[in-house]
């Protein structure tokens, strides 16, 4: 199965599913984890320990925002890029 066939299968499932799975979970999730670890070292606030830092509700709000917003933006950019490449490779076929 070549890349065009893989993309054709993914695009059949739709943009919303692509944004949820490939955008938020696969891209936004790891980004959010890295941002929270970096945040602990750069901006610990009043937290004296790692546990206290992650017990703070603002940390979890930031985690969700980082994951969702970054995932949606990057997911949409990837979708558009893949659609353009697919259309260029299959012009006149569909």
The domain in which residue 61 lies consists of: 15-88
Count of the separate structural domains present in the chain: 1
Residue 70 domain-assigned? Answer: yes
Residue 7 domain-assigned? Answer: no
Residue 55 domain-assigned? Answer: yes
Residues 7-53 have pLDDT tens digits of 889 999 999 999 999 999 999 999 999 999 898 888 777 777 888 88
Per-residue H/E/C for the chain: CCHHHHHHHHHHHCHHHHHHHHHHHHHHHHHHHHHHHHHHHHCCCCCCCHHHHHHCHHHHHHHHHHHHHHHHHHHHHHHHHHHHHHHHHCCCCC
CB of 53 closer than 8 Å to CB of 40: yes
Task: Record the pTM.
Answer: 0.82
Residue 10 domain-assigned? Answer: no
């Amino acid at each position: 199965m070549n890349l065009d066939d893989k993309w054709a299968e993914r695009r059949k499932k739709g943009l919303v599913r692509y944004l949820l799975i490939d955008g938020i979970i696969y891209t936004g999730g790891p980004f959010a984890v890295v941002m929270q670890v970096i945040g602990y070292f750069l901006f610990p606030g009043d937290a004296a320990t790692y546990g206290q830092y992650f017990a703070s509700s603002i940390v979890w709000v930031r985690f969700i925002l980082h994951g969702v917003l970054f995932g949606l933006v990057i997911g949409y950019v990837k979708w558009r890029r893949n659609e353009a490449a697919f259309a260029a490779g299959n012009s006149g076929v569909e």
